[in-house]
Amino acid sequence: MKLLKKIAFITLIASLLLAGCSSSKDKSNKHNERNKDELVLAFDSEPETGFDPTTGWGRYGSPLFQSTLLKRDDKLNIVNDLATSYEVSEDGKVWTVKLREDVKFSDGEPLTASDVVFTFETATNNGSVVDLNGMEKVEAVDNYTVKFTLKKAQSTFVNSLAATGIVPKHAYGADYAEKPIGSGPFELVQWDKGQQLIVKANPEYYDKQPNFKKITLLFLNEDAAFAAAQAGTVDLAYIPAAFSNQKIPGMKLESVQTVDNRGIVFPFVKSGGATADGLPIGNDVTADPAIRHAINIGVDRQALVDGVLEGHGTPAYTSVDGLPWWNPDTIIKDADLEGAKTLLKEAGWKDTDGDGILNKGSLKAEFTLYYLANDAIRQSLAISVVDMMKPLGINIKLEGGSWDMIAKKMYSNPVLMGWGSHDPHEMYNIYSGESAGIGYYNTGFYENKTVDDYFAKALSATSEQDAIEFWKKAQWDGTTGLSAKGDAPWAWLVNIDHLYLVKDELDIGDQRIHVHGHGWPATDNIVEWKWAN
């Protein structure tokens, strides 16, 4: 029924776009049939909680309606946005930010330091995914100077300044998430939940004006988005790899590199423990480093890319592949089945009863791998890994379920998960001993004192650049680390390319490495989008 409604909605949009247009024109020139300053985009995700940065909007892509103090350029360097400059004290605890004095919200009111203070205080009080636990206080020094005081030095605080859109103190209320006012390049016109979002260029925007004055974002599932692209009613559509080989006249396939990764997180400790809520912790099979290392070197990552992702992806070795703080020394030799067999044999794993599954004493080399049941890619990856492990004598049982179900199993069983962010603090969350058992962070209860020491040094650095050396060493320092060369608490599998069907004439600029697929990472640089002719 929902699909029929979507199709009816696409038809309605098509009729509106094509009303009064000549039917003799080619589909590839449909943008000439309507205003050249309008775009129609199809995405498969919708921000169900709305457009409030203090509760998480904009963490995985441009906040569109709001501006941030800092931002990342196409090379992922930190540059100014609302800020003209910022300074960090010698002890790394005080961050002082100078603001532009020419910025107005879309309602014409000026943006000042009080709005910045209000935003960060509200985000802290909301206790949402915006992690500001390290901030002690924020205060306005004057109308255009803000001072942040941290509880202790934290180099990754720069990402809070780059990811938190500023909201107006004078116009923030209970309905802000549905009716946002900001200083970003666009302002909201209409939001029909479950169907579409219409935005228009913000004439008050202080920076380069967008080339498009109106953009309609359609919320369509994969099949409906592809159908809309075939019908020529959208200028860009996000599609899965399964549709990547189907050609559509007048449209090109844009494949964007990502850190939208998928991997298996292992329980790192032996069984016997329990969380405060009584959930079991640990797994005796995956607590054996030989099992974790054998899976890491036995899996054929390129085969997963070619088979499951239709070639649109890359083998994954960490959660930060390709980012400035990635250590390329973490790459290991894939699909070394003989090496994996030797490793297991030397660790005492043998098939003593002839059933094809290895034993070590009374322990069998088998476990259940959980994955999100409604995610086709995760399911396919899981099935493929099961097949790849059989020759090693490792028996993996599969069980799909909802996140609610998985949350009860994930501390004592391997889970196929995914992460991916432009914030190195995510690596700390996934691997730090202090994060063990906190929600979906470090579900395996991994801990390595040397790695934690590198994390502490990275966080206490006074700049992101100074911290990079320690982030890299945490992954692998030549002796130990969180990667497969070290403790192997994860078996990372693939980074998934984000695929878009794009009108031939539409130039979407240089896409930076995309983050996890939440939000609309392709729109990070939407101000630069233009028709090529």
What string of H, E and C letters represents the secondary structure of 504-532?
Answer: CCEECCCCCCECCCCCCHHHHHHHHCEEC
pLDDT, residue 27, reads 45
- Per residue in 137-169, pLDDT (tens digit) is 999 999 999 999 999 999 999 999 999 999 999
Helix (H, G, I), strand (E, B) or coil at 265: strand
Q: Give yes or no for a contact between 54 and 122, defined as CB atoms under 8 angstroms apart.
A: yes
Q: β-pairing, 261-265 with 280-281?
A: unpaired
Query: Side-chain half-sphere of 291: how many Cα atoms within 13 Å?
Result: 31
pLDDT, residue 128, reads 60
Q: Divide the 533 residues of the chain into consecutive groups of 10 and give the mean pLDDT of each group.
A: 43 41 41 74 91 90 93 92 97 97 98 98 79 92 98 94 96 96 97 96 96 97 94 96 94 96 98 96 98 98 97 98 97 95 98 96 97 95 98 98 97 97 95 95 98 97 94 98 98 97 96 86 93 86
pLDDT, residue 349, reads 98
Residue 359: enclosing H or E segment and its boundaries?
Answer: strand 359-360
Q: Give yes or no for a contact between 503 and 251, defined as CB atoms under 8 angstroms apart.
A: yes
Structural domains for the chain: 2-257+497-531 (3.40.190.10), 261-496 (3.10.105.10)
The rounded Cα 142 to chain-centroid distance in angstroms is 36
pTM confidence score: 0.89
In whole angstroms, give the CA distance from residue 110 to residue 117.
Answer: 14
In whole angstroms, give the CA distance from residue 106 to residue 183.
Answer: 6
Could you give the maximum distance between any two Cα atoms of the chain, in Å?
77
**CA-based radius of gyration for the chain:** 25
In whole angstroms, give the CA distance from residue 156 to residue 165.
Answer: 17
Q: To which residue do tokens 């083998």 refer?
A: 315
Tally of CB atoms within 10 A around 68 = 24
Q: Give yes or no for a contact between 108 and 155, defined as CB atoms under 8 angstroms apart.
A: no
